[in-house]
Structure 1
Amino acid sequence: MQNRIHNPNLPAVRRLEAVGFRAWPAASVQYDGSWQVRLTAGHPSKRLNCVVPLDPSDYRDIDIRTEKAARRFEAYGRALLFRETPLAPPQLIDFLRRHGWERFEEVIVMTADLSTIEMPDTMHHLPSHDVGRFVDASLKVDAADPALKPALAEIVSSIKPPSGLFSIEEPQTGPVAAALCVQDNDLAGIMSLAVAADRQRQGLGVEILSSALRWARTRGARTAWLQVTAANEPALALYARLGFGEVYRYAYWRRNKPE
């Protein structure tokens, strides 16, 4: 069952989508009308490999444009994904539903006012400028494939707005938490935040998030934003305690595999 707030603020959605594209840049970005086609050969991130419709009134030739996008994705060795935000035309969503596409992974986009947010008194960590070290830490904390290092390093290096690369490392175990904060004028996006599986629920998430938000606030950011899957209840509880509130939701659509 779809669960989203009623009448989302579309100008706010457009702005957060725009800063999100800059904060997590795809290697290839093309447009078909107002549909943004994002592809990145070296990294499987769904945000980097999807079609994002950006105008509710742009729903002409849906079937032709969908097949055109599918061929482009196939050339990259990827299955076509659509990302549904409040900017997606309802006619497109009806088309996908009628043709048996599957909606999955609902994500909540949240914001917080950095002038009023109350951050706990935790240890303060300064950001690093060492992309390689941050990528190593991020992959280890996420238990991700080390082979993704070149692609992830390229993505992080290609972020144009100022970025804060945060990690918490311990002498015996190495990295135990990592976070990436991107400051785009008055907006600060938490693009990734992870804590090692065996160190969760020990305050490390709050510690590294607070460090990132303090860094962004001292640089003039007034609003923080982040994305979290709707099923991640511990993270949602943490963000709510810090004062984050929902602005809108998005989800992905994929073709159902034939039986």
Structure 2
Amino acid sequence: MTPSGQKTTMSDLPKVRRLEAVGFRAWPAASVQYDGSWLCRLTAGHPSRRLNSVNPLDPSDTRDIDIRLEKAAKRFADYGRPLLVRQTPLTPEKLVAFMDEAGWANVGRTIVMMVDLADLLRDEGLDHLPSRDVGRFVDARIRVAGDDPGLKPGLTEIINAIKPEAGLFIFEEPDFGPTAVTIAVQDNDLAGILQLGVAQERRGRGLGTAILHASLRWAKLKGARHAWVQVEADNAAALALYRRAGFRDVYEYSYRGPHAA
């Protein structure tokens, strides 16, 4: 079952597995360890849940659930992080039942979406080229999002660790500075869209749509056939942006923890 209760069929699981794999490559954690098929991702330099969670990848891997969660909790505590399990359609039902019975909190819900670039984009040239300056992009992202400047070293480390080709897009105005940013990560025939943001003072002017399409055109020219994105379910503006662009829901996930995080 997905976190929203919608059934994911066995025929959907290969697509889920592939999107999970490209998602991990697109936004790499600093520390990656496996316990069986449970992928433990931890990142001291950034508090993102996606970078600090246990990710079960095999619905049949249900051995020693309580012992393995205790080991994971110790590992997370060493990083000063709360234990979080990322519950996807790949999470074993026995693990979900264990968390339910123990009263684990449900911390946020995210929707994974995809679009066919052949349906979305005409074959046309690039109107915006990506930047190669990671430091400049990170500064722009922090300013556009209003994030804590203390996150700069961690965010820089994450972006530098992305192995597939990444396009860093920045829109700017001379008297204002950065107005919108996004990252397109092109991984074979799939492209992930990450970190899209528009400065609060410039919202409602179509900048989100413009920078999204600029990054998707770049990814398509690089060979991507489909694009994916992960959007928090309570972010109505972002969901509307992607759905207007033709993105459709594929599956959902949520974070579960023994304590609210």
**Which TM class, normalised by the smaller chain length?**
over 0.9
Matched to 2:163, the amino acid is K
Q: 1:61 aligns with which of 51, 60, 64?
A: 64
5+ residue gaps, structure 2, are none
RMSD: 1.6
Normalised TM-score (structure 2): 0.94
Matched to 1:238, the amino acid is L
Match of 2:233 in 1: 230
1:256 maps onto 2:221 in alignment: no
Q: Deviations over 1:21-63 (max 9, x none)?
A: 1110001000001000000111101111000000000111111
Matches of 2:55 and 2:162 in 1, distance apart?
A: 19
Matches of 1:185 and 1:5 in 2, distance apart?
A: 29
Is contact 2:87-2:255 (8 Å) kept? yes
1:7 maps onto 2:8 in alignment: yes
Match of 2:188 in 1: 185
More off after superposition, 235-244 vs 185-194: 235-244
Matched to 2:66, the amino acid is D
1:48 maps onto 2:80 in alignment: no
Q: 1:37 aligns with which of 40, 59, 67?
A: 40
1:72 maps onto 2:75 in alignment: yes
- Give how far 1:240 is off: 1.4
1:239 maps onto 2:256 in alignment: no
How many residues end up aligned between the 2 structures?
255
Matches of 2:173 and 2:150 in 1, distance apart?
A: 23
Normalised TM-score (structure 1): 0.95
Distance 1:5 1:97, change over 3 A: closer
- Give how far 1:238 is off: 1.8
- Give how far 1:118 is off: 4.5
Matches of 2:49 and 2:238 in 1, distance apart?
A: 20
| Percent of aligned pairs with the same amino acid | 59
Matches of 2:245 and 2:121 in 1, distance apart?
A: 6
More off after superposition, 152-161 vs 194-203: 194-203
More off after superposition, 123-132 vs 37-46: 123-132
Match of 1:211 in 2: 214
1:16 maps onto 2:3 in alignment: no
DSSP 3-state at the match of 2:194: strand
More off after superposition, 192-201 vs 78-87: 192-201
Is contact 1:128-1:166 (8 Å) kept? yes
1:155 maps onto 2:163 in alignment: no
Matched to 1:7, the amino acid is T
- Give how far 1:2 is off: 4.6
Q: 2:128 aligns with which of 112, 125, 128?
A: 125
Moved >6 Å (runs of 4+): none
Match of 2:137 in 1: 134
Distance 1:117 1:44, change over 3 A: same
Matches of 2:96 and 2:8 in 1, distance apart?
A: 17
